[in-house]
Amino acid sequence: MKKIKVFLAVAFCKTVRFFAKLLGRGSSLPGALTLKLFPNILKDITPPEKIIAVTGSNGKTSTVELIAHVLKESGASLVYNKEGSNQIEGVTTMLLCDSTLSGKAKSKIALIESDERFAKYTFKYIKPDYLFVTNLYRDQLTRNGHPEWVYASINDAISEGITLVLNADDPLVTTFGKNRKALYFGADKLSFDKDVNDSVYNDGKYCPICNAPMSYDYYHYNHIGSYYCPKCGFKKPETKWTITDASLDDKKLTINGKHTIELSFSSIYQCYNSLVAFAAADIAGVKAEDAVKALSGYKMQSGRIMDFTFGKATGTLLVSKHENSVSYDQSINVVTNDKNDVAVLIIVDKISRKYHTEDTSWLWDIDFEKLNSENVKKIYLAGSYYKDLEVRFSVTDIDKDKLAVCESVESAMAKLKNEENFTYVITCFSDKGKFLEIVKKGEV
């Protein structure tokens, strides 16, 4: 009976996948339909020998892309959810389409990007050998509640036998490792670190174990850094994989004091993504030299960073996440680190492409004050939420003459056409399409 069930499920999933692809549908639908007919099918298949999973608020897709690149370069037999369908439906599609009709995985390694809130369903039957947690930030709170709520969801997904691989620099993430088998990655003190957390809020202010005020030796950014609790002794754990040196100007980082990776795009999150990829490669048995070679100079395919030309304007699109202040803060960091004069265009037109909300409270968590920087000459605020942006900027000390408030993306682009400074465009997946379409047309 079980054999027939598996045969039917795999055949069904592959067939739906074939037609869904023809119709341009995503990788989630085949798994969703299969699960309707065979709800526990993941229990009955033989998954790949080694399963590595990645979850967390930010950097999942980029990290998985990097890990997959390194593993593929090393010749590993790998399956992964490259289209980013990271809930149980997408994972089901991926695993069944990689199976023989008897339900046995063809690939040796499965690399799974998993949504934080739904990991507990995905990992009920498909238990990862290693689970990476990249970080926990305020992310899409309109549907995620808050970081501690997400923490509880991930916690429910962790069962015995899973080795956790945790970001040691994120206090809340570190606590997953308490009384569990865990390995850690993180960064030592770096040249661009800060002594104080000067962002809008500090989610590392109080100890996640005992609630006492925490101290930090240094902050890499936001609440990510080296912390300790003077009251209960909770502190940043020892790291197995460590960024021992990094230079954003020279675009490189060194891991464990000897493995230097050249970055094609220099940012602190790219450093962390590379570190996680290095760690995952190590776990998968790839030699350090081979991992370094594969990671060096690799250009991300996932389209988070794109160059553009529009009229007189040239610049870079920094795809950030709406409802995610850390992501915006990172983009702002890129802008203010530029040694040249620049302009910035911020677009908030549609908050999410997946659900409707008009909540813009997250704008208040972003450190827009930092754009009050000598090198930032002009700031365009655009999109249907231009008024929310305008009010938010009204409480910063940024000179009003620098601001151009535009009620639509189109009207902003009409002005941008004549912008002579190099321009950074900061917006979300949900809004980048509108911008890129106008760029492609070459006119408004």
Partner 1 sequence: MQIKILHLYSDFMNLYGEYGNVRLLTKALADKGSTVEVFQKTITDSEIDFAEYDFIYCGAGTESKRTFALNHLRNFKDSLKSAFDAGKVILFTGNSWEMLGKSIETADGKVLEGLNLFDFTVKEQNKKRLTGDIRAKTELLNTELIGFINKCSEVENVASPLFTLTMKPESFSFEAEGIREKNLFGTQIVGPVLVKNPDFCNYIAELIIKNKA
Report the 10 Å Cβ neighbour count for 340.
Answer: 8
| Distance, CA of 145 to CA of 102 (rounded, Å) | 41
List C-alpha distances in Å: 280 to 55, 84, 239, 252, 435: 13, 18, 14, 19, 35
C-beta of 200 vs 414, nearer to partner 1: 200
CA 254 to chain CA centroid, nearest Å: 21
Residue written as tokens 């490669």?
281
The least distance separating partner 1 from the CB of residue 357, rounded to whole angstroms, comes to: 6
The least distance separating partner 1 from the CB of residue 392, rounded to whole angstroms, comes to: 8
Could you tell me if 381 and 406 are in contact, meaning their C-beta atoms sit under 8 angstroms apart?
yes
β-bridge pairing 259-262 and 252-255: antiparallel
Report the 10 Å Cβ neighbour count for 391.
Answer: 12
C-beta of 360 vs 375, nearer to partner 1: 360
Q: Which two tokens stand for residue 352?
A: 């999410």
The least distance separating partner 1 from the CB of residue 206, rounded to whole angstroms, comes to: 6
CA 422 to chain CA centroid, nearest Å: 26
Amino acid in position 140: Q
The least distance separating partner 1 from the CB of residue 356, rounded to whole angstroms, comes to: 8
C-beta of 358 vs 374, nearer to partner 1: 358
C-beta of 284 vs 363, nearer to partner 1: 363
The least distance separating partner 1 from the CB of residue 305, rounded to whole angstroms, comes to: 27
The least distance separating partner 1 from the CB of residue 223, rounded to whole angstroms, comes to: 12
Q: Which two tokens stand for residue 102?
A: 């008897």
Amino acid in position 55: T
| Distance, CA of 314 to CA of 421 (rounded, Å) | 8
**Which class for 5: exposed (0-12), middle (13-18), buried (19 or more C-beta within 10 A)?**
middle
| Distance, CA of 68 to CA of 80 (rounded, Å) | 7
The least distance separating partner 1 from the CB of residue 391, rounded to whole angstroms, comes to: 6
Q: What does residue 324 show for φ and ψ, rounded to 5 degrees? A: -150, 95
| Distance, CA of 376 to CA of 367 (rounded, Å) | 15
CA 307 to chain CA centroid, nearest Å: 20
The least distance separating partner 1 from the CB of residue 377, rounded to whole angstroms, comes to: 26
C-beta of 17 vs 223, nearer to partner 1: 223
Which residues contact partner 1 (rule: CB under 8 A)? 138, 141-143, 145-149, 152, 200-202, 205-206, 211, 213, 356-365, 388, 391-392, 394-395
C-beta of 11 vs 212, nearer to partner 1: 212
| Distance, CA of 13 to CA of 58 (rounded, Å) | 30
C-beta of 2 vs 356, nearer to partner 1: 356
C-beta of 198 vs 420, nearer to partner 1: 198
Could you tell me if 164 and 180 are in contact, meaning their C-beta atoms sit under 8 angstroms apart?
yes
C-beta of 359 vs 420, nearer to partner 1: 359
C-beta of 103 vs 225, nearer to partner 1: 225
What's the sign of the alpha-carbon dihedral 426, 427, 431, 433?
positive
C-beta of 142 vs 384, nearer to partner 1: 142
List C-alpha distances in Å: 217 to 189, 227, 231, 313: 9, 6, 16, 42
β-bridge pairing 163-167 and 130-133: parallel
